[in-house]
């Protein structure tokens, strides 16, 4: 995804290239209104947004990419991009080897284009994937010499984690439902740093509070409050390595206090914000969950 005519600044950097995948870091800011010119994706790509929000327009679908989502680009598709937030967005882009992708998705190379998971185009990323995504990014960018075997193992785990999140049951939404959910996600990202009330969200997207609450939970599998909290925590993962004042960071992300932020962060990721900050500043190898230590 790189139609640079839509933005003032774009940085796309290859952070890792191994036999089974290439991993790039895309940072785009100064988003202009409207859709980008049409672009083309020749390969399968898994996109892991970690800051901001974009809308990916492909066919009749408008796919929201934010830090709570995994977005998949099928090969040989044309698309346009738009960014509802002027600050832009950033994402990890993984271009996997087709045989590796087919194996991890449990299909053969001929059927991967028609896999139901890839026809969905996006699904929700869980906190384990969000944390590992951030640790992986800091490690890959901060390690001048990376052992090939180690890098390949970590890329496989990153791919497997992203694909596993897409295996859950999915129900197609009507166009009106998809538009309402998209507008809701855009509003939550725009108001990330501010106190958010249900009535404000419902009014902004043209719905009633009761209907929106029920619909969002059914479509996304979590409440509006939990979705917003996870967006804030995902932004914290990105900002923590550069943060000198954790209280200021917490308040700037919309948490009511440092203690509230620390409690939510530890519950989601299993470590305190300060522990995560020190680990990523060292650009240490991201640790796999215990059930993956065999890799």
* pLDDT (average), residues 2-19: 77
Query: Which stretches of the chain are DSSP H helices?
Result: 98-104, 116-120, 127-142, 148-164, 175-190, 198-205, 209-220, 224-239, 246-252, 258-269, 273-281
pLDDT digits (tens, 9 = 90+) for 61-97: 899 999 999 999 988 889 999 988 888 899 999 999 9
Tell me how far CA of residue 247 lies from CA of 71, 77, 85, 273, in angstroms: 32, 44, 25, 11
From the list 169, 164, 74, the residue with the least C-alpha distance to 125 is 164
* pLDDT (average), residues 226-240: 96
Q: Rounded distance, CA 269 to CA 233, Å?
A: 9
pLDDT digits (tens, 9 = 90+) for 188-219: 999 999 999 999 999 999 999 999 999 999 99
Q: Rounded distance, CA 249 to CA 234, Å?
A: 13
pLDDT digits (tens, 9 = 90+) for 142-159: 765 667 888 898 999 999
Q: CATH number for the 4-164 domain, one of 1.10.1740.10, 2.60.120.10, 2.102.10.10, 2.40.10.10?
A: 2.60.120.10
* pLDDT (average), residues 261-279: 94
Write down the pTM of the prediction: 0.87
On whether the 175-281 domain is CATH 1.10.10.60, my answer is: yes
Q: Pick the residue with more confidence: 12 or 290?
A: 12
Domain boundaries, the chain: 4-164, 175-281
Percent of the chain with pLDDT over 90: 60
- Long-range contacts: 153-157, Cβ < 8 Å, 24+? 153/295, 154/285, 154/286, 154/288, 155/16, 155/18, 155/20, 155/21, 155/23, 155/94, 156/20, 156/100, 156/104, 156/295, 157/132, 157/288, 157/292, 157/295
């Amino acid at each position: 995804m790189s139609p640079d005519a839509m933005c003032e600044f774009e940085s796309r950097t290859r952070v890792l290239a191994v036999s089974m995948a290439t991993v790039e870091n895309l940072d785009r800011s100064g988003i202009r209104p409207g859709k980008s010119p049409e672009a083309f994706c020749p390969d399968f790509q898994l996109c892991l947004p970690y800051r901001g929000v974009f809308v990916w327009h492909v066919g009749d679908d408008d796919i929201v990419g934010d830090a709570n989502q995994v977005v998949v680009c099928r090969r040989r598709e044309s698309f346009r991009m738009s960014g509802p937030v002027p600050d832009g967005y950033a994402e990890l882009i993984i271009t996997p080897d087709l045989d590796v992708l087919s194996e991890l998705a449990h299909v053969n190379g001929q059927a991967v284009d028609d896999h139901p998971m890839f026809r969905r185009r996006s699904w929700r990323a869980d906190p384990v994937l969000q944390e590992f995504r951030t640790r992986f990014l800091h490690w890959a960018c901060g390690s001048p010499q990376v052992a090939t075997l180690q890098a390949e193992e970590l890329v496989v785990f990153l791919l497997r984690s992203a694909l596993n999140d897409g295996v859950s049951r999915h129900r197609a939404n009507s166009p009106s439902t998809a538009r309402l959910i998209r507008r809701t996600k855009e509003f939550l990202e725009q108001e990330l740093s501010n106190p958010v009330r249900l009535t404000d969200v419902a009014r902004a997207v043209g719905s009633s509070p009761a209907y929106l609450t029920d619909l969002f939970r059914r479509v996304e599998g979590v409440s509006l409050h939990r979705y917003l909290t996870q967006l804030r925590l995902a932004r914290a993962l990105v900002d923590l390595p550069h943060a000198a004042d954790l209280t200021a960071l917490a308040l700037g992300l919309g948490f009511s206090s440092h203690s509230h932020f620390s409690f939510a962060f530890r519950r989601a990721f299993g470590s305190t914000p300060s522990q995560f900050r020190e680990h990523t500043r060292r650009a240490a190898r991201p640790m796999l969950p215990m059930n993956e230590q065999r890799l």
